[in-house]
Amino acid sequence: MNYKKLLSKTKKLSILLVDDYKYIRNDLESIFEDIFQSVIVADNGQDALEIYQNYFDENQKYIDIILTDIEMPQMNGIELSEKILQINKDQDIIVISAYTDSKYLIKLINLGVSQFITKPIEIDMLLNSILDISTKIELKNSNIANEKSSILKLDNEYTWDNDKLILAKNGSEIILTRHELILMLLLSKRVNSISTNEMIIDHFYDYGIHISEDNVRKLIFKFRKKIPKKMIETIYGIGYKLIVSI
């Protein structure tokens, strides 16, 4: 984990930590206080929802990242996520889950949850997820500041022009097939967030193209030959993630 890079992304951000287990909450709060501008904690979903709403009323902006456990009293993490996403559909949420069943995790992603971390928590994995989301927030804020720009910088060499539908390396266009272009249209809208196989299949269906999960795997395999392999991360049994790490 590159802590210097992480700090550069998170030092101006806020996080709401929701967990009813005191020792986990205290340990994570101690870590987050070193990297976030503002760390807010709650021990149940109901209090967290009130804190979220009050924060907006007082600051006229939403908390940047929410990290929540699932099993909690009064209101669990799933209910909390649903209610918050009804208020702010763009809210970035990381869910801590003891469940590893892919169907269960896909439901979380389809709900709108940005990332999930399975228990027991591996701190480096958690911080990597926070880095992904913080980079996504930085990109979103950059795009708001410069709405005329349609170019997404993927890394120091690769860019994606969402208006012209051009993938380029150091300014030179990389020729993509129609299927690769359609795939990039989806992945580029969900930078550093998981696009499930179901999302990808539905996305292609919108273009009148019927594909299977096996077709998706083959498409990703061929597409990776044109870009750095690690730029598209495989979430086994669930889907894929376009990694932007500028």
Domains and CATH numbers, the chain: 3-142 (3.40.50.2300), 150-242 (1.10.10.10)
The answer to whether 10 and 59 have CB atoms below 8 angstroms apart is no
For residue 228, say if its preceding peptide bond is cis, omega within 30 degrees of 0: no
The DSSP element (H or E) to which 237 belongs, if any, is none
Could you report the per-residue pLDDT of 117-157, keeping only the tens digit for each? Answer: 888 889 999 999 999 899 888 877 765 544 445 788 888 89
pLDDT computed for residue 191 by the predictor: 86
For residue 120, say if its preceding peptide bond is cis, omega within 30 degrees of 0: yes
Which tokens belong to 121? Answer: 């928590």
Tens place of pLDDT for every residue, the chain, 246 residues? 677 888 988 999 999 999 999 999 999 999 999 999 999 999 999 999 999 999 999 999 999 999 999 888 889 888 999 999 999 988 999 998 876 656 667 777 877 888 888 888 899 999 999 998 998 888 777 655 444 457 888 888 999 998 889 999 999 999 999 999 999 999 998 888 889 999 999 999 999 999 999 999 999 999 999 999 889 999 888 899 998 876
| CA 155 – CA 29 distance, rounded (Å) | 31
Which tokens belong to 110? Answer: 């389809």
> Torsion over CA of 162, 234, 200 and 101, rounded to 10 degrees?
-140
The string of DSSP letters for 123-151 reads: HHHHHHHHHHHHHHHHHHHHHHHTTT--E
Q: How far is CA 157 from CA 71, 231, 246, in A?
A: 43, 12, 10
How far is C-alpha 208 from the geometric centre of its chain's CA atoms?
27
> What secondary structure letter does DSSP report for 155?
S
| CA 236 – CA 157 distance, rounded (Å) | 27
Would you call 193 helix, strand, or coil by DSSP? coil
